[in-house]
Structure formats: structure tokens, C-alpha cells
Chains A and B, each alone.
Chain A
Amino acid sequence: MPKVISANRLADGIVVYVGRDGSWSERLSQAKIFASKAEAEAGLLVAQNDAKRNLVVEPVVVEVAEDASGLRAITLREEIRARGPTIDFLPRTHAFAHGADAPQENTAKRDPNAVLRFPRLADTREHDPREHELMVAADFREEIAR
């Protein structure tokens, strides 16, 4: 099973992955894939050096799978670390209007029985280092449940 290495950035706690170029990236899609356990362990040692250098905390090996839509973590917990909370937590104005209309902008197709919605990011969205990436995945919930 392919693996990546993940940690939390020390300064702001944001989840990061060892990238293909050796730096730390916030995007799972840019994570370096370690094909074998041995390679992953070696990668972890390097990552732990970065922990000692006060860049990150608690690097860990995370199992992933690769499919048509890209890399995804195997466990729900790691998927949530990769993509952020599965809930629509950012407040909107009048965020608690009961009997709310469908959210105004950028939502994935709305299943009336589900409340898992991911804001759809424009591809040109400016990268805000403090904002964790929320990826569009219309069938995200099904993938996780499986």
C-alpha cells in the first residue's frame, strides 16, 4: 500500500505532507509517495529531522490509495486531516437562519438528507497559507463510508 508522510506545521498546526521536492506541502495531491514500508520509514526519519528543526510536529506515516480522482487517505481520520472538517463550518452572514435556503455560493450538489457539503474552490483561488484546503468531492461521503 502506498504511503505518504504527514505532520502538523509547528507555527500554525496546519496539516502538511512531505512533498515530492522534499518541502512540506499542504496538499495531499502533492505528497511524495513512498511505495514500500522501508522507504516510508526512511522518509519518516528525514521528517523527524524537520521536527527537530522546528518546522513540524509529530510526523507520521499515512497509508493512501490512488484512484481516478487522485490520492486519498485510507482512513476517515486521515481524509479529514487532508481535506478539513466534513461540515460547512465557515459562517455565512445570518449563518443560523432557520429554514435556511440553500447556501448561496459554491456548494456541491445538495443531497437533502446529507449535510456534508464542501465549498467548491475556484481553480484560481489564491492560496492562503492559513486556510486549510477543502476539496470538492461530490461522492466524498460515499468514499468514506466504504
Chain B
Amino acid sequence: MYRYDEFDKNFVAARVAQFRDQVARRLEGELDEEQFRPLRLMNGVYLQLHAYMLRIAIPYGTLSPRQLRKLAFIARRYDKGYGHFTTRQNIQFNWPALAECPDILNELAEVEMHAIQTSGNCIRNVTADQFAGAAADEIEDPRPYAEILRQWSSLHPEYSFLPRKFKIAVNGAAKDRAAIRVHDIGYQIVKNADGEVGFAVYVGGGQGRTPLIAHKIRDFLPKVDLIAYTNAIMRIYNLEGRRDNKFKARIKILLHEKGADTIRAEVEAEFADHRDDALALPQEEIDRIRAYFAPPAFPARATTSLAFEKRKAKDPTFARFVAQNVVAHKTPGYGIVTISLKSIGGIPGDASAEAMETVAHLAERFSQDEVRVSHEQNLVLPHVALDDLPEVFDWLAGQGLATANTGLVTDIIACPGLDYCGLATARSIPIAQRISQRFGDGARAREIGELKINISGCINACGHHHVGHIGILGLEKSGSEAYQITLGGSADETCSVGAITGRSFSSDEIVDAIETVVDTYLKFRAGSAEDFLAAYRRIGMEPFKEALYGRE
């Protein structure tokens, strides 16, 4: 993985010192809140409902055990013993004291982490799919390119005051695990007819108040042009993005209003104008960065592991864990393990300090010192030998981290919602907990099959409800929480925005309503091989509407 060089280390240290000074001046009153707010936001410090919130960047969701242990330490020492992994592969702490934030940032700097550009109108964390560098279906590891984009976009003077936040994702397999089509820019690694690897470029996706699916503006971008082309897009956005209306300031609105063809032409023209500038990515530079992400030296393993097969045969719980949470690795004899942070009835995406330390330990012993954070709020051990899987499973089970529900109805994405967030209109976490408890961890959830429920506590859609197979949006109606259901959303390469079923449901009604939706699916599906999304796309909204509302 990428390691800071001297320049990075000095830079981050200087940044912490600068923030420490800003905090001191704020506490003494030299800076008032108006002046200070943008400064603290530039270091990822939000003021929420009950406390400050610190959002720490986890570049493309990749962590070393050392970093994860540091996060556990921060959770214990400066917070209430836990952290929350987000839908952008970052981590949030909900209770840091402002006065202690510089110390926290100091701790993070020691392990090459920071909270820069996790807020504000700048380019945010560049995300990638959580199985990067490991998945059997990968064309190429997207992380080197995410790292290149990160380096280029960090504190870029021209792009520090964009019309609005800007989110980029890079995906490395044909299957889109990074939700690139609902990002401002999505880079999809592809191979052209000559077998050359490059990027298909998607622009203008996003969720929030106006969900829009990105348009492909380029079929093939050679690697050498990655930065120059991104630069062209950013320049057009910076120039033309609306600054008069916060709710129309994202690049998706620009594409929507001017049309993809127009924007494509503008970007291509801008790109052509600056083609030969210093932004060309020399192959040596690409190779240098790729070297940081070279696959670890995997001890050779037999494709089939006797220990693994024996355990599967005699332990149905282990077998179910493997079936649901382990996917094929590109190297024979290895598997990619998803650690669910969605225990039944638990808080989605939250991890205690103890859980983090367990995962760090497992990463060291069994996963080549690597952990990933998925945008679906789970953790991943990307390189586990099948021989070791029984032991890894036992460790996880001992810590309550072995819920075998990846992609199932209980693997719910939920934003923090009104329990934490100052922007929220309703709570999301209790809804997730109740739905999870309703469906449980047994045969019923397995019978339902893949079903992604995403819950947002307000229209800003941080819970990605627009692209949930079932989406739930929490609103306020006459002083009470009300929940709107959408169906048929998808964040993968068949990206779609969910459609609203009809009138919203009260907090008391919503879990029953979700169960009605699921039961309707089970009733109409063409056999258990047809998952929820496929069934919905075949039968449409009507059967669900009728089940929910009758002949109202």
C-alpha cells in the first residue's frame, strides 16, 4: 500500500500544527465561529446534534493493521469506544472534543492518516471497490489510480473552492462494486480492442435531492491521460457549476441542464487544449505507484484446502459463513472475507475498539496486513488462505463478528440519521435495527436471498437509499417521523434509481410495510434463483403497491 514519503509526512505535520493553532485561537476568541467553521470543516470537524463529529479519510478504503489499531486507540481515548464506517469508505467518530481534535490529528499523522478534504467544497475521498487487488473477476487493481487521483487532488489550489463537494470513484472489475454511476466522476477500468487497459469515464452521477445516473462521456481513456482528463472535467465544472444555488451546484445538475453531449464536447475541447501539459502520466510514474500496490507474496496454496473442506462439511454455520461472506480470490487457495458490521439488531457500520483490534490482529496474521472498508459499511479481509479460514471464522465468531449476511436483507446500509446528524429529519438506525430483528439470521433471510435495503434519515441520501433494492427515506410529517419506500434501485453496473411506492409510513408501520414488500417478492418471484431486483424489474411496481396500499 502507499506509504508517505518525507514530503507527505512534513506536510501533514504542518497541517496539524496549523489546525492546533486555529483551535487555540478559536477557544480564546481570536477567531469567531463564522471565521472558524470553514477552517474546521477543512479538517473534517463537523458540529452535529450532540457533539462534534470527526470524519477521517481512509483512501480507497484501504487500511493497515497499524492504522486500524490507531483508530481503535482514538475510539477509546478520545471518543466513547467506537467508530462508524461510512458509505464513502471513511470512518467517523461522534464524540470528539474540539479541544482534543489537534491531538487526534497528531495521532493519525503518526500512522499516515488525516482528515483533510473529508468535508467542504473540494475533491473528497476517492473510493474504489473493496475487493480491489484481490477479486478473481478484476481487470486491474483500481487503487493505484485512486492513489494518483488522491495525490493530485489533495490541496489542489485550483479545486479547493469548487461550487460544491466532488466525489470520484474507481472500479476495477466489470461488476461495479464502487457505485461509480452515482458519483460525480466514475472511472471504470476497461480493456480496449488492442487489449490496452484504460478507463471508461462516467460523469454527473449523484444522489441527494436529485438522484441522477452518470453519463458515459468517454468509452476509452488511456492511463497516460487520467489526470489531464480529470483536470479538464474539473475546469469545466469549476467554471460553469452553479454557485448561486447550493442545491443546484453539483456537476450532475450541470450535465442535466446542458446535456451530456455538450459537456462531453466541452471537456474534450478543454482536454485537447491542455493535452501536452505537465499532467501526462508517465509510465514510470504509474509503475512507481503500482509498485506500492503490488500483490503480497502469497505463500503458494493448493486450490483446494482440506482443512477448509472438512470444516465446511461438518459445520453448517461455517458453511453458511463461507457461502455468504467469502468470495473468490484471484490467487488459488485464497478467499476474500467480508466481516459484517451488521449484527442482527446492531447498529450498521459501527465497530467497537475491541472489534477493530480483533480485525487488525486477523489482518496481520491471516490477511497479508490488509483490511478494507466497503462503502456498504462492512470490513473486508482481502487475502485469507482457505487453510486459515476456519481459524479466522472462529476468531470472528468469538467477537460476534461472524454474521453471515453479506448482501442479505439484514445487511442494511443506514446513515447516522436523527440520532446523531444535524441535517436529519428522521431516525434511520432504529429502523435498520428493527428490520434486522424482524428478518433475523436464519433460514428466512437466506431464503429471501440478495436484497439490499438502504436507509437515509433525510433527503441528502447519505444512506444511499436511491440505489437500494429497497430504499427507505426518513422524513418529518406533522412533527412525526414518516418513512417513504422506494423499490428497484441499484448501485451496480445496471444502475437505477428506486421508484417511490406511494404514501409514506409511520415509524410503527414501516417494518410491517417492508415485510409486506418482501412477502410480495416471495409470492411473485420466478423461483428462488430470481432475486428481488430481478423480480421487481420483471413484475414492476403494481403488485407491491397493491400489497402495501390495497385498492386505496
Binding site for B on A (CB under 8 A): 8, 10-15, 51-54, 57-58, 74-77, 80-81, 84-87, 89-91, 93-100, 113-116, 130-132, 145
Contact = CB atoms under 8 A, between A and B. Distances in A.
A10 B100 CA distance: 12
Contacts of A94: 398-400
A13 B52 contact: yes
B160 interface: no
A11 B33 contact: no
B80 A89 contact: yes
A12 B47 CA distance: 10
B178 interface: no
Contacts of B420: 85
A20 to B, nearest CB: 22
Nearest to B344: A98
B400 A75 contact: no
B532 to A, nearest CB: 23
B480 interface: yes
Interface in B79-119: 80-82, 94-99
A27 B7 CA distance: 47
Given A11-B98, A85-B420, A89-B80, A95 B352 contact: yes
Sorted nearest first, the 3 A-B pairs with minimum C-beta distance are: A91-B352, A96-B400, A97-B400
Nearest to B398: A94
Nearest to A56: B33
A96 B410 CA distance: 14
B80 A90 contact: yes
A115 B27 CA distance: 38
Contacts of B441: 98-99
B218 interface: no
Given A15-B49, A52-B29, A98-B343, 17 more contacts: A10-B27, A11-B97, A13-B51, A13-B95, A14-B51, A15-B50, A54-B29, A57-B47, A76-B418, A77-B49, A80-B418, A91-B82, A95-B343, A96-B355, A98-B344, A115-B434, A131-B80
Interface string B27-46: 11100110000000000000
Contacts of B400: 94-98, 100
B355 A86 contact: no
A86 B419 contact: yes
Contacts of A77: 49, 418, 424
Contacts of A100: 343-345, 400
Interface in B478-510: 479-481, 506-508
A80 B49 contact: yes
Contact of B28 (A52, A54, A58, A116): A54
B430 A93 contact: no
B452 interface: no
A54 B98 contact: no
Interface in B344-359: 344-347, 350, 352-355
Given A76-B418, A95-B352, A95-B400, A87 B49 contact: no
A45 B98 CA distance: 25
Interface in B9-60: 26-29, 32-33, 47-52
Nearest to A14: B51
Contact of A96 (B26, B403, B508): B403
B203 interface: no
Interface in B142-175: none
Given A13-B48, A96-B401, A58 B433 contact: no
B427 interface: yes
A74 B476 CA distance: 14
Nearest to B436: A115
Nearest to A130: B97
A97 B343 contact: yes
A13 B419 contact: no
Contacts of A98: 343-344, 400, 402-403, 441
Contact of A13 (B33, B47, B344, B346): B47
Contacts of A97: 343, 400
Nearest to A100: B345
A95 B47 CA distance: 27
A115 B80 contact: no
Contact of A86 (B344, B346, B427, B506): B427
Contacts of B49: 15, 77, 80-81
Query: Looking at A81, A95, A130, which has the most chain B CB atoms within 10 Å of its CB?
Result: A95
